[in-house]
């Protein structure tokens, strides 16, 4: 680990200045991402593109993110974390104003692709820096705190985005989503020009990483698939008041759950992953059962249950991957599961709904999560 992460520096993540800078840069930059996550699908529908295009906008964004994440390790080894974070901020923010003038479906998808590059760089670097900048005794707690840095923007942005689009207009959301990442440039620039110090060159490729991380990877993928579907289609399925409430409470539950899982992670020894994935499945099943028939308060409760499970799945799966491989490889693997899942969830539900119902689509997501409970249980072991 880096000098900033020596064991003698103390176990509290807050004692590490570079880690604090990483948190600030990540949180501010991701505010722009969170505002647009539910708004771009709405914008696509507003332009007459339909629900499949709405899902495709999220799907293209996440596909671009995943491809970028797979190459981030090479980029970081050559240029360091600071340069990678700065490029991530640029790609996330600079293309956003083009949504104002490039309103065709190909235009929206192209801008989503460019923004996905930035998101991919930011997410891999942010989660890798947990283990790069902190001592091993602080990694679980640091992961929970990092969950606050990524969760608070979603807590604010997911409900605020549709509300702002309705009351201030889409253009205001696009401008704000450009300005916020720009504010993250300063803390990102102040990061140390660190290169990966826990990732040996040539220390195994993608297949090796997949072989050692697949057990926590699959639960993370299943949970994130549900997130992508919920954030994409909740503003379309529910009326605005209920949608805003649900998109406020779900990330709140996720953020608090991940923070709590980080606090107790050192003592849980991976035991939280199985019940957390069970909650994900139950929440998705509730959404499937009530989204189209009501009552709406049960839909909101189902999303909160999902959020509680998803937060703990995030923390437990990432820490489990850190135990199995280097910080950089674990970060890439975890983020690929996170973001590929969101893209798959958005596209798959959009495709299923085109020929069926939201109940069927979300019911399939619930079943896939619950089917992976044996894998989550076995993920406590390193093999």
Statement: 3-378 belongs to CATH 1.20.1250.20: yes
| Model pLDDT for residues 301-341, shown as the tens digit of each residue | 999 999 999 999 999 998 888 888 887 888 889 988 988 88
Determine the Cα–Cα distance for residues 54 and 162; give it in Å rounded to an integer. Answer: 14
Nearest to 202, CA basis, from 310, 77, 300: 77
Instruction: Report phi then psi at 211, rounded to 5.
Output: -65, -35
Residue 199 has a pLDDT of 52
The answer, yes or no, to whether residue 2 has pLDDT greater than 60, is no
**DSSP state, residue 48:** T
| Model pLDDT for residues 124-141, shown as the tens digit of each residue | 999 889 888 888 778 888
| Model pLDDT for residues 19-34, shown as the tens digit of each residue | 999 999 999 999 999 9
- The helix/strand/coil state of 121 is helix
Residue 197 has a pLDDT of 67
Determine the Cα–Cα distance for residues 373 and 369; give it in Å rounded to an integer. Answer: 7
pLDDT band at 50 (very low <50, low <70, confident <90, very high): low
Q: What is the mean pLDDT of residues 292-297?
A: 83
The sign of the dihedral angle between the CA atoms of 279, 280, 286, 289 is negative
Residue 198 has a pLDDT of 55
Tell me the two tokens of residue 90.
């640029």
Q: What is the mean pLDDT of residues 249-274?
A: 82
The answer, yes or no, to whether residue 3 has pLDDT greater than 90, is no
Determine the Cα–Cα distance for residues 3 and 272; give it in Å rounded to an integer. Answer: 31
Share of the chain above pLDDT 70, in %: 91
Q: Kindly calculate the radius of gyration of the chain based on its CA atoms and give it in whole angstroms.
A: 19
The answer, yes or no, to whether residue 49 has pLDDT greater than 80, is no
The answer, yes or no, to whether residue 369 has pLDDT greater than 60, is yes
The answer, yes or no, to whether residue 162 has pLDDT greater than 50, is yes
Q: What is the mean pLDDT of residues 225-239?
A: 86
pLDDT band at 291 (very low <50, low <70, confident <90, very high): confident
Residue 267 has a pLDDT of 62
- The helix/strand/coil state of 218 is helix
Stated pTM of the model: 0.78
pLDDT band at 5 (very low <50, low <70, confident <90, very high): very low
| Model pLDDT for residues 52-66, shown as the tens digit of each residue | 777 788 788 988 998
- For the chain, the residue count is 383
Tell me the two tokens of residue 276.
């957390």
The answer, yes or no, to whether residue 151 has pLDDT greater than 70, is yes
The answer, yes or no, to whether residue 8 has pLDDT greater than 60, is no
What DSSP letter does each residue of 216-264 carry, written as one string?
HHHHHHHHHHHHHHHHHHHHHHS-HHHHHHHHHHHHHHHHHHHHHHHHH
- Rounded to the nearest integer, the mean pLDDT of the chain is 86
pLDDT band at 266 (very low <50, low <70, confident <90, very high): low
The answer, yes or no, to whether residue 10 has pLDDT greater than 70, is no
Residue 75 has a pLDDT of 93
The answer, yes or no, to whether residue 122 has pLDDT greater than 70, is yes
The answer, yes or no, to whether residue 204 has pLDDT greater than 80, is no
The answer, yes or no, to whether residue 383 has pLDDT greater than 60, is no
The answer, yes or no, to whether residue 37 has pLDDT greater than 50, is yes
Residue showing tokens 């996720």: 254
The answer, yes or no, to whether residue 201 has pLDDT greater than 70, is no
Instruction: Report phi then psi at 6, rounded to 5.
Output: -70, 150
Tell me the two tokens of residue 181.
């990442």
């Amino acid at each position: 680990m880096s000098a900033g992460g020596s064991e003698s520096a103390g176990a509290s993540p807050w004692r590490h200045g570079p880690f604090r800078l990483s948190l600030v840069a990540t949180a501010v930059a991701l505010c722009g991402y969170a505002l647009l996550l539910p708004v771009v699908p709405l914008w696509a529908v507003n332009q007459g593109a339909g629900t499949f295009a709405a899902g495709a906008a999220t799907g293209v964004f996440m596909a671009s993110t995943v491809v970028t994440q797979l190459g981030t390790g090479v980029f970081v080894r050559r240029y360091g974390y600071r340069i990678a974070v700065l490029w991530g901020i640029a790609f996330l923010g600079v293309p956003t104003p083009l949504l104002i003038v490039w309103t065709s479906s190909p235009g929206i998808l192209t801008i989503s692709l460019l923004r996905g590059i930035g998101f991919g760089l930011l997410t891999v670097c942010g989660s890798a820096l947990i283990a790069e900048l902190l001592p091993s005794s602080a990694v679980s707690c640091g992961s929970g705190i990092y969950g606050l840095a990524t969760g608070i923007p979603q807590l604010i942005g997911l409900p605020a985005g549709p509300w702002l689009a309705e009351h201030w207009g889409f253009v205001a959301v696009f401008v704000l989503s450009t300005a916020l990442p720009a504010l993250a440039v300063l803390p990102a620039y102040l990061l140390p020009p660190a290169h990966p110090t826990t990732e040996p060159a040539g220390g195994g490729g993608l297949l090796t990483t997949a072989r050692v991380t697949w057990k926590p990877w699959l639960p993370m993928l299943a949970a994130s698939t549900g997130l992508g579907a919920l954030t994409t289609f909740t503003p379309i399925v529910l009326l605005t008041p209920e949608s805003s409430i649900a998109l406020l409470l779900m990330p709140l539950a996720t953020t608090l759950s991940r923070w709590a899982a980080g606090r107790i992670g050192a003592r849980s020894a991976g035991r939280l992953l199985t019940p957390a994935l069970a909650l994900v499945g139950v929440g998705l099943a509730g959404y499937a059962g009530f989204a189209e028939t009501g009552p709406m308060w049960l839909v909101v409760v189902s999303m909160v249950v999902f959020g509680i499970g998803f937060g703990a799945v995030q923390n437990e799966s990432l820490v489990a991957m850190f135990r199995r491989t280097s910080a950089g490889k674990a970060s890439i693997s975890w983020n690929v599961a996170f973001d590929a899942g969101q893209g798959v969830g958005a596209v798959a539900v959009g495709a299923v709904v085109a020929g069926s119902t939201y109940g069927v689509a979300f019911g399939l997501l619930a079943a896939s999560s619950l089917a992976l409970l044996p894998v989550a249980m076995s993920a406590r072991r390193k093999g």
